[in-house]
Chains A and B, each alone.
Chain A
Amino acid sequence: MERASGHTAGGRRPRRAPIAGAWFTPYLFIAPFLLFFCAIFLGPALYSLYLSFTRYRGFGTPRWVGLDNYAIVLNYHTFWQLLRNSVFYWIAHSIPMMLIAFLLAILVHSKLAPWLKLFKAVIFLPQMLATVAAALLFQNFFGTRYGVLDSLLGVEIPWLTSQSLAPWTVVAMLIWRDTGYWFIIFLAGLTTINPDIDDAARIDGASEFQRLLRITIPLMRPTFVFAFLVDAIVTLRLFAEPNVLAGKSGALAPDFVAPVLNLIVQNIRGGQFGLAAAIGWLLFVVIAAISFVMFRVMRQRNTVP
C-alpha cells in the first residue's frame, strides 16, 4: 500500500536502494534516438564541416585547402545575389502571408462567417497539392504568350522570365501555398486562449478591436514567435518552388530568381563538394543568426509588463 501510494505514513518518500547500473538506464532509453541522430545527422554534418576545408570531387582523397572555400564563396557575387533572393522571398512573403492567415483564423474563430467548415477546407487546400504540381500549375498560369493569365488579359507580360517580375511570381505562389498551413496553426493558437478573459473584457466594455489588440494578439505571441521562426528557417532553405516555376524542364532557375540552395546543388552536380559544404555551413550561420535575432527581439517584447 505504501509502495503503491509512494509515501510513508509520515509523508516522506522512502529511500530506495540504488540499483547497480541504474545511472545509464535513461541513456538506454534515448540510445536509439542518439544512435540515429549521430549516424544520420551529426556524423554527416561534421564530415561536411571537414569537407568544407577541402577540395573534394566526391571520390578519391580530399585535399586540405584551409579556409579557401569560405573565402571563395564570400568573394563570389553570385552567392550574395542568391542569398539576397532567399532573404527577399522570406521577407516579401512572410509578412503578408502571416497577416492573411491570422485574419482568416480570426474570421473563422469568431464564427461570423457562414460555412466555416467549408472555409477551413478551401483555405487549406493548396497545402494538399504537391509542391512540384503547384509550381507547374503556376507555370502554366503565368506563361508569357501561352499562359492562362496573359491569354485572359490579352497581353504578353513575361511573368516568369522578367528579372523584376519573376521573383514576385514566386512570392505569390508561396503566399498562395503556405497561407493555409499557418491559418490552421493560428486557429489552433486561438483555441488555447481562455474565453473567460475575452468575456471579462467584453463585460468591461472593451470593443472587438480593443480585445483583438489587447488580449488576442498578446496572448498569441508564442504562436507568432513559432510561426515567424519556422517560416524564416523554411524559406531560407527554399528550393523547389522557384526552380520548378522559373527553371526550364528539369534545369535550375536562372540566378535572378534562384534561391541560395541552388549554389549547393550546382556545386554538388559539378563535383565541387568542398565548396558545396562551405556554402551549406555559411547558410547555416545565416539562418542561426536570423533565428537568434528574431527570438531575442520577440522574447524581449514578451517580457514587457
Chain B
Amino acid sequence: MAGLIANAPRKSRTIGRRTVLKLAAGSLAGAIAAPRLIGGARAQSQTTITVWTWGGVERFAPRVAAFKRLYPEAAARINVQVVSPGKQDPEVYQALRLALTSGGALPDLVQMDYVGMPEFAESGSLTDLKSMLAPYEGDLVDSAKQLTTYDDQVVAVPFQLKPKVWFYRKDLFEQAGIDPAQIKSFDDYIAAGHKLHEKLPKSYIMNIGDQPDTDLYWMMLSNWKDARVADRDGTYQITKNPDFAQVLDWLKGWRTSGIAFNTDNWSSDWQPAFADGTIAGSLIASWMTAFLPKFAPEQGGRWGITSWPEFDRRGSNNGGSIFTIPAGAKNKEAAFEFASKMLLEPKGALDEWERTGNPMAIKSVRPQILADAKTMKRPAGMSDAEWALVPVNYFGADFMQPIFDAFDGYQVPAFDPAAAAELVLMSRNTEEFLAGKKTRDQALHDMEADMKAQIGNPYKS
C-alpha cells in the first residue's frame, strides 16, 4: 500500500489531499444538515424507543400509526421502532434473556404474557412502575391492577386482559332446550352436554382431545386465587393442594363423558368443526371474539357469550398480556408515555378497542365502548363480507357487556419465576393421565417430582 502511494504521480497526491479535505468538510456539513433535510420533526431531539412484541411487526404497526394520528405532539418527540423477536411469546423472553446476559441493547418496552413476567421481575430486571402508574391507578379496573403486579412490585402496564368467557351456539342450545344461565355445577354442564348431543347428534357442547392446552389447565386452576405450584421456601403444593386434582378430574370427566368432540384447540380439526356446527360451545377466553368469526363466518348472530359456569367461573387465561420496561432500558419515560397514552388514556384506549376489540383496562371508557358498539359505522373501504365479521355485527352490538361481566371473577394465576418450565411438566403428566397411562395421583406425584428434580425451588433456581 505504501509502495503504491510512493509511486503515484506528484499531481495526484496534491489533488488527493485537497479531495480529502473537501470530503471531510462536506461530510461534517452533511452530518449537521442531514436531520434537517430528512425531516424537520427529527430536528428537535427525538427519542427512539424500541418495542419488542411477537407475531410480526405488521401486527403492531396500526398501533404506532394510531399513536401518530392521536398524539402528534408526542409522536414528534417519540419515534417508535418495533421489533418482533419471534412468532410466540417464549421467543421474546428468550431474546430478552440474551440481551440481559450479553449486556447488549435492551428494548425500552417489552410485550409479555403475564406467565413470562415473574422470571424477570424476581431477578430485578424490570423497572418499578409504581410512581409512573400512580396517576392512572384510580381509573384502572381491579383486574388490571392484578395484572400490573408481581409479589407487591408494580412492574407492568396492562395491555390485553383475558377474562374467561363461554361461547355457545344460541340457536343449537335453544333447540336442545338448554339455558346456559341454569348451568351451575360440573354435573349440570355434563348433563347439558348429553342433552345437546342427544337432541343434535352431530353437535357437541365442547371439544377436548388427548393433549389439551396447558393454557386450559391454568385457566381452570386460576379459579382458585392461591393455587400455586410452590411456596417461596420451595415447598411444592401440587400433591397437597386439592385444586390440582380437581382440575385433572374435570378434564378427565370431559374426555370420558362423551359430551366433547375429540379434538384439541388449535388442531387441524378444530376450526372446521366450528364451521360445520360440530362444536357448539367453547369454554375459553375473551380473545376468541377475534377468531370465531374467521372460523365460522356463516354463523354470524348465532353465537352467544357469557361467563363460565359457576363451578369454575373465576380466573383468566394466564392473566393476559402486559408491557414491561427493562430496568436497563435507556428511554423509560418515553416508553411509558407511549404505552400509557395508547392504553391508559381514554383517547388511545378507545381507539385501541375500535381497532382490536381488546376490552381495555380503564373504567372511564367502558360506557363509551358499550355506546360505540351500538352505533359503530362501517369504515371506508371495508367490504360487506368483512363488515359482517366485525364482532359488533357477528356477535351483536351488546357483545361487550358479558365480557365486562366476566371481569367480576377475573383473577391472575399465581405464577412463579419458573412457570414456563412448570407448564411443560404439567402438560406432559396431564397428557399421560388423560391417555390412561397414569392414575390421577400418580400424575400429580410425577408432576411434582419432575419439578423438584428439574427446577428445584422455582424462586431460587
Contact = CB atoms under 8 A, between A and B. Distances in A.
A250 B220 CA distance: 22
Contact of B453 (A58, A76, A248, A269): A76
A251 B431 contact: no
Interface string A135-179: 000011001111100000000001011010000000000000000
A78 B423 CA distance: 15
Given A161-B210, A254-B210, A59 B94 contact: no
Contact of A275 (B119, B262, B268, B454): B454
A75 B421 contact: no
Given A72-B453, A78-B428, A143 B421 contact: no
Interface string B208-230: 01110100000000000000000
A270 B421 contact: yes
Contact of A145 (B97, B273, B453, B456): B273
A255 B433 CA distance: 13
Contacts of B269: 143-146
Nearest to B431: A254
Most buried by A among B210, B268, B278, B432: B268
Contacts of A210: none
Interface in A33-61: 55, 57-60
Contact of A269 (B90, B432, B435, B454): B90
B265 interface: yes
A93 B242 CA distance: 45
A280 to B, nearest CB: 15
A72 B454 contact: yes
Contact of A272 (B211, B265, B268, B421): B421
A58 B454 contact: no
Given A248-B211, A254-B211, A57 B97 contact: yes
Interface string A268-288: 111110010000000000000
B100 interface: yes
Interface string B385-426: 000000000000000000000000000000000101111100
A269 B420 contact: yes
Interface string B422-461: 1110001001100100000000000000100111100001
Nearest to A262: B424
Interface string B195-212: 000000000000001110
B264 interface: yes
Contacts of A255: 428, 431-432
Given A76-B453, A140-B268, A161-B210, A270 B418 contact: yes
Nearest to A71: B453
Dominant SS among interface residues on chain A: loop
Interface residues of A, number: 34
A302 B288 CA distance: 62
B131 interface: no
Given A58-B97, A59-B125, A255-B431, A145 B461 contact: no
Contacts of B123: 57, 59-60
A303 interface: no
A259 B268 CA distance: 21
A160 B267 CA distance: 10
A291 interface: no
Interface string A63-82: 00000000010011010000
Nearest to B273: A145
Interface string B76-102: 000000000001101001100110110
A276 to B, nearest CB: 11
A249 interface: yes
B274 to A, nearest CB: 11
A251 B435 CA distance: 19
Nearest to B419: A270
Contacts of A275: 454
A271 B418 contact: yes
A84 to B, nearest CB: 15
B94 A269 contact: yes
A271 B421 contact: yes
B30 interface: no
A266 interface: yes
B272 A146 contact: yes
A59 B101 contact: yes
A139 B271 CA distance: 14
Given A146-B269, A248-B264, A255-B431, A271 B93 contact: yes
A251 B263 CA distance: 15
A243 to B, nearest CB: 13
Contacts of B461: 55, 57
A73 B450 CA distance: 10
Nearest to A139: B268
A57 to B, nearest CB: 7
A267 interface: yes
Nearest to B421: A270
B420 A270 contact: yes
Contact of A58 (B87, B98, B211, B278): B98
Given A248-B264, A254-B431, A59 B100 contact: yes
B265 A248 contact: yes
Contacts of A140: 268
Given A59-B125, A60-B123, A145-B272, A251 B266 contact: yes
Nearest to A267: B421
Nearest to B450: A76
17 contacts: A58-B94, A58-B97, A58-B100, A59-B97, A60-B100, A60-B101, A60-B123, A145-B269, A161-B211, A161-B267, A248-B213, A248-B264, A250-B88, A270-B421, A270-B422, A270-B424, A271-B418
Interface of A: 55, 57-60, 72, 75-76, 78, 139-140, 143-147, 158, 160-161, 163, 248-251, 254-255, 266-272, 275
Interface of B: 87-88, 90, 93-94, 97-98, 100-101, 119, 123, 125, 209-211, 213, 262-269, 272-273, 278, 418, 420-424, 428, 431-432, 435, 450, 453-456, 461
Given A57-B123, A161-B210, A269-B90, 15 more contacts: A58-B101, A59-B125, A60-B123, A143-B268, A143-B269, A145-B263, A145-B278, A158-B262, A161-B267, A248-B266, A249-B267, A251-B266, A269-B94, A270-B422, A272-B421
10 A-B pairs with least C-beta separation: A270-B421, A58-B97, A249-B266, A59-B100, A248-B266, A59-B101, A269-B90, A146-B272, A270-B420, A143-B268
